Amino acid sequence: MIWPQWLCDGAPAFLFTPWFFLLGVGVVLGRSIRLDYSGRPWAVRATINLLYLAASLAAALLGKRLLAVP
């Protein structure tokens, strides 16, 4: 198995759908408040993006666990 069991037990749609929804909400909110990191160094932008991905994944996993979705 490629994915760890705790990451993707049950149907993957119950993880990936909320995760991508949260990513989309973040993009819409970021554009609405005009977030722009283009003037920052590459390493700073990469770190921000990785933290954004990790935080939205953690929120999706937490929601999945709280709702007891298989």
Q: How far apart are CA 9 and CA 21, in angstroms?
A: 19
The predicted structure's pLDDT at residue 13:
76
Dihedral angle at the C-alpha atoms of 51, 21, 3, 63, nearest 10 degrees? 90
The predicted structure's pLDDT at residue 56:
95
Chain mean position to CA 68 = 19
The predicted structure's pLDDT at residue 38:
93
Residue 59 — φ and ψ, nearest 5°? -65, -40
Q: What are the average pLDDT values for consecutive 10-residue runs of the chain, which has 70 residues?
A: 58 83 94 94 96 94 79
Tokens of 70: 């298989």
